[in-house]
Amino acid sequence: MAKVVAVKIGPEGIAMVGQFQNTVAIFSMLGTGAINMGVVKYLSQNLNNKEQQKKILNNVFLIVIVSSLTISTVVMLASTRLSALLTHLMVLHF
C-alpha cells in the first residue's frame, strides 16, 4: 500500500504527508496542554491523598479544555494560512 501511494504522489507528496503528520502531532500535543507526564508524576506523588488528587485532576481537566478550545479556534480561524504554509503553495497533480 505504501509503495502505491509513494508511486502515485512521488517524493514531494510523501514529504508533505510526513509534514502534515508532524503538524497534527504538534497541534495534538498543544491541545492537551502538554501535561501528560506531569499529571502522572503528581498523581503518583499523592497516592494516599485523594483530596489532592481530585484538585490535580480538576486542574488538568480545566487546562485541557482551555488549551483544546484555544488551539481548535486558532487552527479553524487560520486554516487557509496554515494550509498554505504547510504545502508551501505547492499543487499536487494526481
Q: Let me know if residue 31 belongs to a domain.
A: yes
> Mapping DSSP to helix (H, G, I), strand (E, B) and coil, where does residue 38 land?
helix
Q: Is the dihedral of CA 35, 38, 40, 42 positive or negative?
A: negative
The verdict on residue 55 lying in a domain is yes
Model pLDDT for residues 62-83, shown as the tens digit of each residue: 998 998 899 889 989 988 887 7
Tell me if 66 is assigned to some domain: yes
Identify whether 94 is part of a domain. Answer: no
Query: pLDDT tens, 33-63?
Result: 778 888 999 999 999 999 999 999 999 999 9
C-alpha cell at 78: 487560520
Domain interval for residue 64: 2-87
0.85 surpassed by pTM: no
Non-local CB neighbours of 47 within 8 Å, separated by 6+ positions: 53
Domain total in the chain: 1
- Domain-located, residue 93: no
67, 30 Cβ separation under 8 angstroms: yes
pLDDT tens-digit readout, 9-41: 888 788 878 888 888 888 888 877 778 888 999
The grid coordinates listed for 47 are: 497516592
Integer Rg of the chain from CA: 19
